[in-house]
Amino acid sequence: MKPSFNVLHIISDQHQADIMGCAGHAQAITPNLDRLAGEGVRFAHAYTQNPICTPSRTSILSGQYCHNHGYYGLAGPRPAALPSFLSHFKGNGYRTAAIGCIHTPNDPRNWLETHVDRFLDYFESVEGRSWETPFYDELRARGIMEQEDNRYFFQHPELGTEGRPSLLPYHDSQEAWATREAIRFMGENEARPFCIQVAFQRPHQPFTPAREFWDLYPDDLTLPPTLNQPPTHRPPHFQQAWQGFHCNRGALAPRTFEAMARRLWHGYLGCISQVDHAVGELLVFLERTGLAANTIVVYHADHGGYSGTHGIQEKAPGICSEAVCKVPYLWRVPGLALPGKACEQLVESVDLAPTVVSLCGLPPMDTVDGMDLTPLLCGDAPLLREVAVTENPWSKALRWKQWRFVHYQPEMFGGQDIGELYDLELDPDETTNLYSVPEHRETLHQCRRLLLEWLIRTTRNKTIWPPPAPFEITGLYDYHIAADGKAANRVGPQSLQAQGLLHYL
């Protein structure tokens, strides 16, 4: 059957979910993202699988949880047999591309190299060599490579917490280059449909938007209300990061904490507006060429960020908070997604792969852990999942109803029993940790039980015996082996839903 849609997946780096006009943020200038949300569905409670780049992107592309694909760090050996939705589309006749800030496992060569027809990482070559890419070749040929923001900040690390206008115009930014290359790929006159991921580095630091986006915001910006929130209720590593940031006076004048924090916030907002502008350029191209009527557009971030929220600059203790675990998730599906709908159900990054595969009528991927969100795109649907989980190797963050629960292994803090529990309906700024409050002991117990059941239910193994009760066995040792060499988990969310077991999720 001929596929009915093209797919354009736009991913940014470190975009806090609530910093968009369509999400109600009072400062963010994001007209193109707001328009995309108005023409499709905004998932108001979407969660990343990991708070840092490479493992999160591996989950997005593969549709697998981190404990299944095994990647938790910023680098690592290339997965031997792990499919991605890009490789699945390529195998089903699509033209595929990955362009921009790709940031996936790359030892000895990038994982996505063979998954796509066109691989263009702005920062690293396919062999993982920094600065040796077509993007930097262009800047080098024009004598402006050393002014490029990442290159400049690599040589001036003291500016890492600062915000200021870029030394280069937007035309020379990574966002503009990736947008041009994506438009070139999508515009090639071929009969085959396309599936492309366009990845922008911003609003990740350095916080240096082009001057036109810096100037969108006043110098006397109101700072995040949680900037000076005392961290005494937080775990030790969060308190340490808070203290480190609050001792910083910046590298630019005036050298005060408040002025530095305001420059950083200014730069972060400007970077979000710069990404928004690039998204707008892609949308205009689709409209001008008539492709908009036949192209699924998804805007997504690999994880959120702090940039002063909760008094933290970096995302390193990120699993602690909604600011990093929750991500923007906008879907425009022509003729299907309800325009202007804000879906309140919990969804996850791993849901992208099975959803675009389903929408395009391709055979399902037997390696994914995520769920098909098509029912939510079409309108009201029964509850698809009860919990959403963001995980690090030694800590897990769970969202359930109004609760945010974070489990830390006691070995992280010298054997201490430390955790976090927040009622986000009553305490959206996460100011009161209820973890040790006796009245909430039953809620804490329930969160732990849900997390344990989730981990057992979603873990995929190479061999299975005895099988879970719903598992269909045709012979003593006969079960389906998926494309990644593991036993396909037929007790996944979709199977449970079909058997009326959804209340376990």
Angle ∠(293,280,47) on CA atoms, nearest 5: 90
Q: What is the pLDDT of residue 338?
A: 85
Domains of the chain in sequence order: 6-385 (3.40.720.10), 460-505 (no CATH)
List, in order, residues 6 or more apart from 293 with CB less than 8 Å away: 334
Q: What is the pLDDT of residue 451?
A: 98
The model's pTM is 0.94
- Are 44 and 64 within 8 A, CB to CB? no
Token pair recorded at residue 286: 């689709």
How many CA atoms within 13 Å lie on the side-chain side of 489?
Answer: 20
Give the residue from 262, 237, 240 showing the smallest Cα distance to 249.
262
Token pair recorded at residue 450: 């849900």
Q: What is the pLDDT of residue 170?
A: 98
The tens digit of pLDDT for each residue in 455-468 reads 999 999 888 776 66
Q: What is the pLDDT of residue 470?
A: 56
Strand duo 341-348 + 118-121: pairing: unpaired
Q: What is the pLDDT of residue 347?
A: 98
- Are 366 and 64 within 8 A, CB to CB? no
Q: What is the pLDDT of residue 496?
A: 32
Bridge partners of 343, per DSSP, are: 43
Distance separating alpha carbons of residues 344 and 46, to the nearest angstrom = 9
Q: If you count them, how many residues does the chain have?
A: 505
Q: What is the pLDDT of residue 469?
A: 58
Q: What is the pLDDT of residue 478?
A: 54
Residue type present at position 300: H
Q: What is the pLDDT of residue 456?
A: 94
Distance separating alpha carbons of residues 10 and 22, to the nearest angstrom = 17
Q: What is the pLDDT of residue 489?
A: 60
Q: What is the pLDDT of residue 466?
A: 67
- CA 159 remoteness from chain centre: 25
272 dihedral zone (left: phi>0; alpha: psi -120 to 50; beta): alpha
Q: What is the pLDDT of residue 380?
A: 74
The tens digit of pLDDT for each residue in 122-179 reads 999 999 899 999 999 999 999 999 999 999 988 898 888 899 999 999 999 999 999 9
Low-confidence residues in the chain, pLDDT < 50: 1-3, 476, 491-505
